Amino acid sequence: MSEPLKERRLGLLQATAINMTDMVGIGPFITLPMVIGIMNGPYFLYAWVAGAVLSIIDALVWSELGAAFPLAGGSYNFLKEAFPSRKIGKLMSFLFVWQTLIQAPLVIASAAIGFASYFSYLTPLTTWESKMVSGGVVICIVILLFRKIEDIGKISVLLWIIVIGTILWIIAQGMAHGNFTMPLQTMNEGITMNHSFAAAIGFASVKTVYSYLGYYNVCHLGGDIINPSRNIPRSMLLSIVGIFALYLLMNVSIVSVIPWQKAMNSDYVISLFMHELGGPLAGKIITGLILLVAFASVFSATLGYSRIPYAAAVDGAFFKVFSRVHPRGNFPYVSIVFLGAVAFIFSLLFRLSDVISAILAMRILVQFIGQAVGLLLLANNKRKHFPYKMPFFPVPVYIAIGMWLCILISTGWKMALGGMSMIVLGVVVYFAKEKLQTADD
């Protein structure tokens, strides 16, 4: 089992700040019109409610495992400890790290690409100029992360203030100048509870869940969290509830000024919203703040993901080079540089619309469903000693598994097949690696 990097130095405020900055990012600003377009009606707000419900239920699984195994690497440790068979646990944890080397850079790249997309509102960019901007964001993040964890905690709180301040400004403008109660009063107009509505909720939830991802980032930093048995569950609950309230109010604020029929066709709906209320300068200012929010998200995501290959390498289950830490800052610099390099390449190759569904499809089976199943397997032995236990166990676990399967189906068969293909390839690599190690011994 991997050990904490050094001394635990991140408290509840810093842990919650890291989670919330990772959750917001560019996601809600880009996916807001997508969600409205998929739902095609004023009832699009239900998709944001569905995303929050799934996040809270799944966070109960993360809370039990995170409080019980508060170590760097998060799901890597959960999967290794949860399965009663040591061989299966090793395979599942390896598959998680294997997928992380691809999906983590995709997450980082998606925020960087979104940054470049919104940046083009301020000044038109050619295709290659846009790629240079997104790649430059990744490089800046890697440089910024080359420092001690306590300094990063302070930076995260500052970025969190910017994130919350930006969303509160949007909400305040809608409340002051829009018909703020109208979207809530009309959200049930035209709604029909049938198969089509359920399918629309499923497809739209792929986008909203993407915007909530990151509520568990504190678990990847478990080795740095003070009093983890209390602060890990609390930070996740506070993050989800707080972000849900902000997302809901922001959506209501936007469509109280811009009709949903117009909002769903806008690439820069937030900028358009503020432009309409305050003129061109206000539109540019809000765009600048959104860029800071996107930057903060890349920062937080890269910080959390960098601990996963590190934890696996410390355990001897991954390439040893990833276990190296900086001699002065005591952070896993090889892991940071590797993930940043891959994210840089992805930011040059892909579009934002290509990666949102792929991110979820790659993670659901091994990470979200895998560790939920692992928690069920722990029910009769180790779980009785856990410092945190969810209410009504195991009902929330079964609900989480069912909801994740629905999200996987909603990503589309091509994405789901791609995710499963990565798992199969990972299994082949794992057994090849085990065979080579046995031969060396």
Closest CA to 247 of 71, 47, 88, 420: 47
Pair of tokens at residue 106: 């995709």
- Residue in this structure with the two tokens 């203030």, named with its chain if needed: 161
Give the burial class of 112: count Cβ atoms within 10 A of its Cβ; 0-12 exposed, 13-18 middle, 19 or more buried. Answer: buried
- Band of the pLDDT at 153, cuts 50, 70, 90? low
The pair of three-digit structure tokens given for residue 276, joined into one six-digit string: 């309409």
pLDDT of residue 221: 81
What pLDDT score was predicted for residue 1? Answer: 46
167, 24 Cβ separation under 8 angstroms = yes
Per-residue pLDDT for 440 more than 70? Answer: no
In the predicted structure, residue 172 carries a pLDDT above the cut 50: yes
pLDDT over 90 at 379, yes or no = no
Is this structure's pTM higher than 0.75? yes
Task: Give the pLDDT band (50/70/90) at residue 3.
Answer: very low
Q: What percent of the chain has pLDDT over 90?
A: 36
* Structural domain includes residue 1: no
Q: Which of 49-58, 164-173, 351-360 has the highest mean pLDDT?
A: 49-58
Mean pLDDT estimate for the chain: 86
Average pLDDT over residues 317-339: 83
Domain that holds residue 58: 12-440
Instruction: Calculate the dihedral angle through the C-alpha atoms of 220, 226, 229, 234, rounding to the nearest 10 degrees.
Output: -80
Maximum separation of any 2 CA atoms in the chain, in Å: 71
Let me know if residue 2 belongs to a domain: no
Contacts for 12 with CB less than 8 Å, ≥ 6 apart: 226, 230, 231, 234, 235, 238
Look-up of token digits 């990772």: 22
CA 274 to mean position of chain CA atoms: 27
Tens digit of pLDDT for each residue in 74-83?
Answer: 888 888 888 8
Residue 387: is the preceding peptide bond cis (ω within 30°)? no
The predicted structure's pLDDT at residue 438: 72
The pLDDT of residue 381 is 66
CATH code (residue 49)? 1.20.1740.10
89-101 tens-digit pLDDT: 889 988 988 888 8
Residue 50 has pLDDT above 80, yes or no: yes
pLDDT value of position 136: 93
Residue 131 within any structural domain of the chain: yes
- What are the φ/ψ torsions at residue 221 (nearest 5 degrees)? -105, 25
pLDDT digits (tens, 9 = 90+) for 250-280: 999 999 999 999 988 877 789 889 999 989 9
- Average confidence (pLDDT) over 333-337: 89
pLDDT exceeds 90 at position 148: no
pLDDT band at 299 (very low <50, low <70, confident <90, very high): confident
φ/ψ (deg, to 5) at 10: -105, 120
Residue 54 lies in a domain: yes
- Domain-located, residue 383: yes
What pairs with residue 72 in β-bridges?
Answer: 221
Average pLDDT over residues 384-408: 93
- Residue 8 above 70 pLDDT? no
Per-residue pLDDT at 4 exceeds 50: no
Instruction: Name which of 46-50, 152-156, 224-228, 302-306 the model is least confident about.
Output: 152-156
Residue 322 located in a structural domain? yes
Residue 5: what pLDDT? 46
Q: Give me the percent of the chain exceeding a pLDDT of 70.
A: 94
Q: Above 60 in pLDDT, residue 295?
A: yes
The residue among 136 and 300 whose pLDDT is bigger is 136
Length in residues, the chain: 441
Residue 409: how many other CB atoms lie within 10 Å? 17
Phi-psi region of 259 (alpha: psi -120 to 50; beta: other; left: phi over 0): beta
Average pLDDT over residues 180-206: 87
Q: Which residues contact 62 (CB under 8 A, 6 or more apart)?
A: 215, 216, 219, 232, 236, 371
The pLDDT of residue 357 is 83
The answer to whether residue 392 is domain-embedded is yes
- Structural domain count of the chain: 1
Within a domain: residue 287?
yes
Rounded Cα distance between 322 and 314, Å, is 8
pLDDT tens digits along 99-145: 888 888 888 888 888 888 888 888 888 889 999 999 999 998 888 88
pLDDT of residue 371: 93
DSSP 157-195: HHHHHHHHHHHHHHHHHHHHHS-TTHHHHSTTTT---SH
The answer to whether 377 and 81 are in contact (CB under 8 A) is no
Query: CB-side exposure of 362: number of CA atoms within 13 Å?
Result: 23
Are the C-beta atoms of 183 and 42 separated by less than 8 Å? yes
Of 268, 20, 55, nearest in space to 158 by CA: 20
Q: How far apart are CA 187 and CA 133, in angstroms?
A: 38
CA distances from 345 to 144, 165, 183, 238, 333 (A): 19, 32, 41, 34, 19
Q: Which pLDDT score is estimated for 120?
A: 84
Q: Side chain identity at 15, as an amino acid letter?
A: A
State the pLDDT at residue 392. Answer: 93
Give the span between the Cα atoms of 124 and 97, in whole angstroms.
Answer: 38
Provide mean pLDDT across the span 360-372: 91
Q: Which pLDDT score is estimated for 322?
A: 86
Amino acid code (one letter) for 409: I
